[in-house]
């Protein structure tokens, strides 16, 4: 999981920043992105970071307990990290792809308040438009790059916590269980209770309730 970072360090990119987003598919809740810069080889705390992050990978491959454990560890290990989110209203205004990219830009801007990354590793097949820092898009990057995996965990844990809070306000939808994804339970709740203020009106199952044009 450290091999891509090691390659970039050898190429002279000392501060490698991993970025990932979570929540493109749900019908409700924000899209969340995270940016993480981890210690590099030669840093005094590098060996400790390797030890404590052993087993870190794509957040989808980890249990909730494992994600929570890494999310607790990462802030004390990372040289810089940040999480950013865009609301359902912003997703409806921009479309989900642009909103996901904007969330990553916001997370990156927060990281830059502490340090300036030399290169960005971005999960997926697209780089961020309008960013002058060198970028590499990595398909399945969250299972190939430790920095992207760290970002995926921080984003996933943050978003899950948001959805649990939304469940407390709107328990009829079951947000604490499906986290806003279009499960049968969620779609049945939509048919029964209609839309909440946290649903994405431009997504097909929600738009059909309002007869809105779809993205």
Does residue 215 sit within a domain? no
164-180 residue pLDDT tens:
999 999 999 999 999 99
Confidence of residue 215 (pLDDT cuts 50, 70, 90): very low
Confidence at residue 214, expressed as pLDDT on a 0 to 100 scale? 47
- The residue ranges of DSSP E strands in 39-165, in sequence order, are 80-86, 119-123, 135-138
Domain of residue 18, residue span: 3-169
Answer yes or no: is 187 within a domain: no
CA–chain centroid gap for 134, Å, is: 20
Q: What is the mean pLDDT of residues 143-164?
A: 97
Please state, for a pLDDT cut of 70, what percent of the chain lies above it.
Answer: 98
Question: Counting beta carbons within 10 angstroms of the beta carbon of residue 201, is it exposed (0 to 12), middle (13 to 18) or buried (19 or more)?
Answer: middle
Q: What is the pLDDT of residue 180?
A: 97
* pLDDT at 186 > cutoff 70: yes
Do the domain assignments include residue 190?
A: no
- Give pLDDT, residue 210: 82
Q: What is the pLDDT of residues 97-152, one digit of tens each?
A: 999 999 999 999 999 999 999 999 999 999 999 999 999 999 999 999 999 999 99
Q: What is the pLDDT of residue 161?
A: 97
Q: For position 27, which CATH number holds?
A: 3.30.420.10
In a domain, residue 204? The reply is no
Supply the pLDDT for residue 211: 73
Residue 136 belongs to some domain of the structure? yes
Residue 188 covered by a domain: no
Contact 146, 8 (CB under 8 A): no
pLDDT for 35 beyond 80:
yes
Find out whether 202 and 212 touch, Cβ atoms under 8 Å.
yes
In a domain, 206, yes or no: no
Question: DSSP per residue over 171-215, as a string?
Answer: GGG-HHHHTT---HHHHHHHHHH---TTB-TTSHHHHHHHTPPP-
Tell me how far apart the alpha carbons of residues 130 and 72 are, in angstroms, rounded to a whole number: 32
Judged by phi (left if over 0) then psi (alpha if -120 to 50, else beta), residue 144 lies in: alpha
Query: Has residue 192 been placed in a domain?
Result: no
Q: What is the pLDDT of residue 32?
A: 98
Q: Look up the pTM and report it.
A: 0.94
Which residues, in sequence order, are bridge partners of residue 137?
Answer: 122
Task: Indicate whether 213 pLDDT > 80.
Answer: no
Please give the tally of structural domains in the chain.
Answer: 1
Q: Per-residue b/e over 134-166, b at no fewer than 16 CB within 10 Å?
A: ebbebeebbbbbbbbbbbbbbbbbbbbebbeeb
């Amino acid at each position: 999981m450290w091999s891509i970072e090691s390659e970039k360090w050898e190429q002279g990119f000392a501060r490698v920043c991993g970025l990932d987003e979570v929540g493109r598919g749900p019908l409700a809740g924000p899209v969340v992105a995270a940016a993480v810069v981890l210690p590099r080889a030669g840093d005094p705390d590098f060996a400790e970071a390797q030890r404590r992050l052993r087993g870190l990978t794509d957040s989808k491959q980890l249990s909730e307990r494992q994600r929570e454990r890494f999310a607790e560890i990462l802030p004390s290990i990372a040289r810089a990290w940040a999480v950013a989110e865009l609301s359902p209203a912003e997703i409806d205004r921009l479309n989900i792809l642009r909103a996901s990219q904007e969330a990553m830009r916001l997370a990156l801007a927060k990281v830059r308040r502490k340090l300036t990354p030399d290169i960005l590793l971005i999960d997926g097949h697209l780089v961020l438009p309008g960013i002058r820092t060198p970028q590499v898009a990595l398909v399945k990057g969250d299972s190939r790059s430790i920095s992207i995996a760290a970002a995926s965990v921080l984003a996933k844990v943050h978003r899950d916590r948001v959805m649990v809070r939304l469940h407390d306000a709107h328990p009829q939808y079951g947000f604490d269980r499906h986290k806003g994804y279009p499960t049968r339970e969620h779609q049945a709740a939509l048919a029964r209770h209609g839309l909440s203020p946290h649903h994405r009106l431009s997504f097909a199952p929600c738009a059909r309730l309002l007869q809105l044009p779809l993205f």
